[in-house]
A and B are shown apart, each in its own frame.
Chain A
Amino acid sequence: MLTRRQLFPLAGMAGIALASGAAVAHHGWGGYDTAKAFTLTGPIIRSAYENPHGEALVQGDGKIWRLTLAPPFRLQNRGLSVEMLQPGTVGTFFAYPNKQDADEARVERVTIGGKTYELR
């Protein structure tokens, strides 16, 4: 069976794994401030229908937001085609701001042309 000499590195690794999980959640949903959820209506300036995440630059609230969307397969699946995200299209985005980056937000749902599309 395992001696103490063999067990310590295992315990250490487990500790590191747990600590790093708790440390910083920049990019996943945990990195966004759900308490500061906001609604933004504005025109799409540019969009990227791309993996790993789609993106839309949207003008609103006196600035340009970088909005993170879902991967293309999910966007398609939920009914949002690449044509619907062309520049000039006006959308209403319900999003959470990035805790570390004030100009970036992750979109929970978007309304375009009267229809709402869930992205989570």
Chain B
Amino acid sequence: MGGFLLAWQEGPLGLAMRTSPLAYPVAETLHIIGFTLLIGPIVALDLRLLGFGRTLPVAALARLVLPVAIGGFALAVCMGLLLFSADAAHVAINPSFRIKLVLIGLALLNVALLHLGVWRDVATWHGVVPARARIAAVLSLVFWLGALTAGRLIAYF
């Protein structure tokens, strides 16, 4: 694994990310915009599931929010891969980075379980959010905000 990461880091993409004055800050900025578009809308949806803003129908809110969040996630991942290339071998052993990846994995697992579970019947909830969806909303807040925190703290470890 270490050899693979070093090869990735020392390859043409890693070299470009390190030496181009613009590539890294541009990728970094788009990475931030990406996870902002992911986390902001998801927090709003989670708060709705936890009982805030009851006049908003859950399914309608989700129809607005989920495509934005998915698009933001895709942007964050693509930019993240570019940033990672610059010093893959160092970042991969950073404890805060590893925690961030675990939290993202848990967040995605949480999404999958919700969407395969009670979310399939969201049109029949009629304003009453099932307990499983509320639990998923709390976990979503913990995992995504935790991942955001861990990502910011990479520079401090």
Q: Using a CB–CB distance below 8 Å, which chain A residues touch chain B?
A: 1-2, 6, 9-10, 12-13, 16-17, 20-21, 24-28, 30-31, 48-52, 71-73, 76
* Identity of the chain B residue whose Cβ is nearest the Cβ of A16 in the assembled complex: B146
On chain A, the residues within 8 Å of B21 by CB distance are: 51, 71-73, 76
Interface size bucket, B side?
A: 20 to 34
Q: Is the CB of B51 within 8 A of A51?
A: no
B residues neighboring A (CB under 8 Å): 17-25, 50-52, 86-87, 96, 134-135, 138-139, 141-142, 145-146, 149, 153, 155-157
Give the Cβ gap from A14 to chain B, nearest Cβ, in Å.
Answer: 9
Count A-B contacts at CB 8 Å.
69
Q: How distant is the Cα of A10 from the Cα of B22 in the complex, in angstroms? A: 38
Report the nearest B residue to A14, measured CB to CB: B145
Given A21-B153, A25-B156, A27-B156, A10 contacting B87 (CB threshold 8 A): no
Minimum CB distance partner of B149 in chain A: A17
CB distance from A47 to the nearest CB of B (A): 12
Write out the residue numbers on chain A whose beta carbons fall within 8 Å of the beta carbon of B138.
6, 9-10
Q: Is B142 a contact of A20 with CB atoms below 8 Å? A: no
Known: A30-B156, A31-B156. A52 touches B24 (CB 8 A): yes
In the bound complex, residues from chain A placing their C-beta under 8 Å from that of B96 are: 20
With known contacts A52-B86, A71-B25, A73-B22, A20–B17 Cβ distance under 8 A: no
Task: Tell me the minimal C-beta distance from B138 to chain A in angstroms.
Answer: 5
Contact in complex: A28, B19 (CB < 8 Å): no
For A20, list chain B residues within 8 Å (CB): 96, 149, 153
Q: Which of A6, A25, A30 has the most CB of B within 10 A?
A: A6
Structural contact, B157 and A26, CB atoms closer than 8 A: yes
Partner of A51, one of B17, B146, B155, B157: B17
Nearest chain B CB to A46 CB, angstrom units? 15
> Looking at the complex, which one of A10, A24, A26, A52 makes contact with B141 (CB distance below 8 Å)?
A10
Taking the closest CB of chain A, its distance from the CB of B142, in whole angstroms, is 5
Given the complex of chains A and B, what is the CA–CA distance between A50 and B20 in angstroms?
8
How many angstroms between the C-alpha atoms of A25 and B7 in the bound complex?
29
